[in-house]
Each structure stands twice: as structure tokens, then as C-alpha cells.
Structure 1
Amino acid sequence: MTMTGPAVRHPGTAMTADQRAQFERDGYLVVPGVLDADEVAHYTEAIDRVYERHTREGEGLHLRGAVQSCPELAPLIDHPKMFGLVWSILGWNVHIYHSHLDVHPTVSAERPFRFEWHQDGGRQNREIETHPRPRMSVNVAYWLSDVSVPGRGNLKVVPGSHTTDWIAGPPSRNVPWPDPEDAIHVTANAGDVVFFDRRIWHARSENHSPITRKAAYFGYTYRWVRARQELTRELPGLSPVQQQLLGALGATDGDHAWGHAPHGVPLYTVLRETGNLDPGFPPLKP
């Protein structure tokens, strides 16, 4: 098969032995200087234009579909100074399954507490029964603002927690609770990349600085984490559960597949109404 279109970019270089050892130990890497000053300025301006279209000044923006929302970000997905990390860990049979761009201005007032510590992957963390949980995906965070000191909306992580399936937390997310023991604020300069295992326990800290936090995130996983074939025509008369099973739930923001909104998933509703949800079995726990 002959590939056509723009010239294929250099795929980057493989992860070094030291990088691999650190990544396997800590669950994340900070890679300095992936973007130079001109690139930082270019991508910042592109994201600023999207921000102006989508929200009012002073409000935060978390917009899924980074390249769809901001096509100028496309060169980031296989940037030669970053991409080698992705294929060094996951191999060549990969695609981006989740991405978003973020703009978070200064938080001027204290907001209600919410416990945000999590592992990425949504229902993966309940429905796959192995221990430790499988890696499945890796994340690349491009920092376009200076988070070289804590307090600027830094990514918080617990180093080494990517092989830990559980951390202590409150009975509900709105109950005040301290950060996990050994949690740190990851610091980085504009242009740096944070590369992390989706299993590492992490959260975003509040931005109390005068600097607006700006970043672009890309999540890479195996290409088989999707339907092998897609429904290409409408089939009348399908029940809601049948539509779910054939991948035809309709236009959504994609979160139904992650299970964050179970009441919008037909089979969940049927099992709840028939008394078949079992809180003692993680895949059947809402």
C-alpha cells in the first residue's frame, strides 16, 4: 500500500534506558524543551482564539477533541521530540482516543471542595479484573504556560502509584479530604512535556497565580480499543440496548462509553430496573 498526502514526519527517537527505568518506577516523565519559544507562542495563540470563541474571559475551558477544536494543534500529536516516548511504550498499533485543550485563569475565590484524585480510563478501572491494572494508555501533556512552581494549576501526582489500584479517599467527593501521602506538584516550564501512565493517581491543582494555565493533552491507546466495525446505516426498530451493543447510541460527547453517566446507558437502566446491579462486583457497580 502506498501512502499519499503530506510527507511523513520523522517518528522521533526511542526512549532511552534511563527514561524507561524512570517511567516504569515513577509512572511519569518530565521532558524539557520539547517546544521552542516560537512553537509555544504559535500554539498559545491558536488556543487563545479557541478560548475566545467558546467562553467568556475569566472562565475556565476544558474542551475535548483538541485537534478537532483547534486544527493548528495537529503537529503536536506526532511531534518528533515527543512521539518516540509513545511508541517506545505502546508500540506502533496506536491511536489517540482522548484529547483536550485547557485554559484555566486565576481562581480568585475559594470553590467548594471536590476530591479530584483519579486514574484515567473510566470504567476500565472497575471492569478489568487484573492486578495491577493494565497500562492500556499513556498521556502527553504539553505545557504552554509556566508551571515551574506550585500554585499555578500544576498536575499533581503520587509518584509510583501506577501499580496501585486504590488510594484512600472520602466517602463522597465533596467531603474535605487531604491529598494522598507522597503527592507532589509536577513543575514544568512552557514548552515542556509531561508524559505519564494513565494509571498514575493524579489531579489538577487550583491556579492561584496571576498566570493563566494553558495546556494540551493527548491520550494514546491501542487501535483495537474501539469497535472493529462501525454501523454504517440506520436500522429501524432497534431497542435501546440493541443500539448500545451496535455502537449506535447517537451523537454524544463520548462519555457514555466511559460510563461516567450510567443513567444514559440503556443496559444499565435495564439491569437497575430488574434488580441485577450488584455493588459487590465492580463491573456491575454504578
Structure 2
Amino acid sequence: MTAEQRARFERDGYLVLPGVLDQDEVARYSAALDRVYAEQQAAGRLAPDGSLHLLSAVAALPEVVDLIDHPRTFPLVWSVLGWNVHVYHSHLDVHPPIRSPKPYRFEWHQDGGRQNRELETDPRPRLSVKLAYWLSDVSEPGRGNFKVVPGSHLTNRIDGPPRRDVRWPEPPGAVEVTAAPGDAVFFDRRLWHTRTDNHSELTRKGMFFAYSHRWSYGRDENDALLASPVAAAFTPVQRQLLGAPLAGPGQLPGDHQWGHHPDTTPLHGQLAARGLLDEQYPPLRP
């Protein structure tokens, strides 16, 4: 990372990296993503609007492994986080054009889920960064662009509605990030951002890789224990504390650690039943 890049990154919370993938790479990765999309479509696993948001990018598509340490992007990751890093979250995205109006939903967020309630500093720590590789042309607004508020990574809160389905003004200073096929966007996970709707005639396609420090992963190895007969006697809270999968039917595997589904988290249910969830303390809110 150059001194000029670092200054812009620390000021704005993101960098647009032009042309990090050449034409052959764009064509190869785009064809691979098309293949996965067709497989998921045949299996009936697309969203009702025909979109795909598939977690565990390399597990789903091993040939994209070269993107996780690409020589034109990965140096930015270790320049910011250091050498003790891993990919802790990734996804493949395909969003066809929207042919009919969608119900309104306020989607502005910071990455990391409950990190943004459970960490108490202001601003909260960076913890992770993310690389978005664009395989479709989002060089004009309205194509499902990444939308951000530059500099908002140093802000813990933005104004929002009481419910996500209540119409609300866009955050001041919000901009749609434009990029050509082969460009990448590198951003701080604290940056307030959203995905915009794709009103173009093009299908929006991208691959996303998030990096964090390796100590954010559980150190204990309990898979064999949890699969053994002795684990049948463990309480739900004990299984949660030992790292057992908690996601319920129809929910995204792996999503449970981020706390998006409190009803599948045993300790949340136990505290709720005992009236111990203090709404005035963010880490205890659902």
C-alpha cells in the first residue's frame, strides 16, 4: 500500500482499484460464476427474484482460490491487517435486472453483524477488511452498484428508520461507486454501505472476500466431541459455547455466529425467558 493509498483509505474507508483483473481473468471467473449460478438455479436454490448470494466462495467454486491472494490486491490486506490473517467470510453474488418494483427495505449497514453492538468503543475497531471483485460493468449508476458514505467508517451510527420497511432518506453524502469489469473495491468493514437495485439490462456479478485476524476463529477443536455420543447429554447452551452449529432450517449455514437469528441461539432464549435482556445495553438487545 502506497502512502497515498493509505491516506485515502484512512480518510474515505475504501479504495477503487482499476484493472486488477485482466480480460482473460474476467472471462474465466465470469464463466465459472455463470456455471455455479446455473447449478443453483437447477437445484431451485435462487432467491425469488432470481438472485444468488452464495457463501463460502472457494468451497463453492475452487477455481477462484487465486483471488484470495491476488498479487494486485492482497498486499493491501496485509498492509492494513498484518500477516496473521485469514479469509473469514466470502460470497458469490449474481443479481439479474429487476423487472418489477421491490418492496422498500432500508439496507444500509456495517459489516460484521453483532460486532457493531457488542463492541463499546467509538469508533469501533476495524477488525476486518473486504475485497469486492467486479465481473460485470457497474461503470454507471443504477446497475446494482455498491453505495457508500465516504468517511463513515469512523462513525458508529447513522440515522435510520424504526423498521427497515419504513421509507427513510439516504444518508447524507452517499455515493454509488462505479467500476468496470476487472476492477476491485477494497474497504474497511466499518464503512456504512448498501447494495443498490439493478435497474439496468445487465446482470450484476461479483465475488467478495473478507479478511480478519486469525485469532477471531475458535482455537478449540470440538468437532469430534460434538459428533460423539457423549454430546447428546450437553445442554443447548453448552453446545453453543462449544461452537456447535445453531442455524435452523432454511437459514444460512454459518450465519449463527453473527447473531442474525437470535431465536436459534440458546443463551438468548434462556436470558429472554428469565427477563434478563436489558434493552438499554446494546450487546443484550436482539
- TM-score normalised per structure 2: 0.93
Q: Quote the residue 2:271 is aligned against.
A: 271
User: Do structure 1's residue 249 and structure 2's residue 245 form an aligned pair?
Assistant: yes
- Letter aligned with residue 62 of structure 1: H
Q: Quote the residue 2:10 is aligned against.
A: 24
Answer yes or no: is the 8 Å Cα contact 1:240–1:249 preserved in 2: no
**Residue-by-residue CA offset, 1:29-78 (whole Å, 9 max, x unaligned):** 00001000000000000000000000269711111111111111111000
- What does 1:219-230 correspond to in 2, within 5 Å? 219-230=210-221
Q: How many angstroms apart in 2 are the aligned matches of 1:180 and 1:73?
A: 34
Answer yes or no: is the 8 Å Cα contact 2:245–2:254 preserved in 1: no
- Letter aligned with residue 51 of structure 1: Y
User: Do structure 1's residue 38 and structure 2's residue 24 form an aligned pair?
Assistant: yes
1:215 positional shift: 0.1
- Letter aligned with residue 162 of structure 2: P
Q: Which of 179, 189, 211 is residue 202 of structure 2 equivalent to?
A: 211
- What does 1:68-217 correspond to in 2, within 5 Å? 68-217=59-208
Answer yes or no: is the 8 Å Cα contact 2:246–2:265 preserved in 1: no
1:250 positional shift: 5.3
Identity of aligned residues (%): 61
Answer yes or no: is the 8 Å Cα contact 2:246–2:264 preserved in 1: no
Q: How many angstroms apart in 2 are the aligned matches of 1:227 and 1:61?
A: 29
Q: Secondary structure at the match of 2:107?
A: coil
**Residue-by-residue CA offset, 1:128-155 (whole Å, 9 max, x unaligned):** 1111010000000000001001000000
Q: Which of 225, 232, 236 is residue 236 of structure 1 equivalent to?
A: 232
Aligned residue pairs, count: 272
Name stretches of at least 5 consecutive residues in structure 2 with no aligned partner. none
Q: How many angstroms apart in 2 are the aligned matches of 1:248 and 1:196?
A: 31
Q: How many angstroms apart in 1 are the aligned matches of 2:7 and 2:63?
A: 34
Answer yes or no: is the 8 Å Cα contact 1:157–1:183 preserved in 2: yes
1:93 positional shift: 0.3
1:260/1:283 CA distance change after superposition, 3 Å: same
- Letter aligned with residue 99 of structure 1: S
**Residue-by-residue CA offset, 1:182-239 (whole Å, 9 max, x unaligned):** 0000000000000000000000000000110000000000000011112032323100
1:123/1:250 CA distance change after superposition, 3 Å: closer
- Letter aligned with residue 241 of structure 1: V
1:249 positional shift: 3.3
Q: How many angstroms apart in 2 are the aligned matches of 1:249 and 1:32?
A: 39
Bigger Cα displacement from structure 2, 98-107 vs 232-241? 232-241
Q: How many angstroms apart in 1 are the aligned matches of 2:166 and 2:13?
A: 28
Answer yes or no: is the 8 Å Cα contact 1:27–1:197 preserved in 2: yes
Q: Secondary structure at the match of 2:147?
A: strand
Bigger Cα displacement from structure 2, 223-232 vs 273-282? 223-232
Bigger Cα displacement from structure 2, 56-65 vs 89-98? 56-65
- Letter aligned with residue 272 of structure 2: R
Q: How many angstroms apart in 1 are the aligned matches of 2:218 and 2:9?
A: 30
Name stretches of at least 5 consecutive residues in structure 1 with no aligned partner. 1-14
Q: How many angstroms apart in 2 are the aligned matches of 1:208 and 1:142?
A: 20
Q: How many angstroms apart in 1 are the aligned matches of 2:205 and 2:82?
A: 29
Q: How many angstroms apart in 1 are the aligned matches of 2:117 and 2:221?
A: 26
- Letter aligned with residue 127 of structure 1: E
- TM-score normalised per structure 1: 0.93
Q: Quote the residue 2:283 is aligned against.
A: 283
- Higher share in helix: 2
Q: Please, what is the CA RMSD of the aligned residues? A: 1.2
Answer yes or no: is the 8 Å Cα contact 2:107–2:194 preserved in 1: yes
**Residue-by-residue CA offset, 1:101-143 (whole Å, 9 max, x unaligned):** 0000100111000000000000100001111010000000000
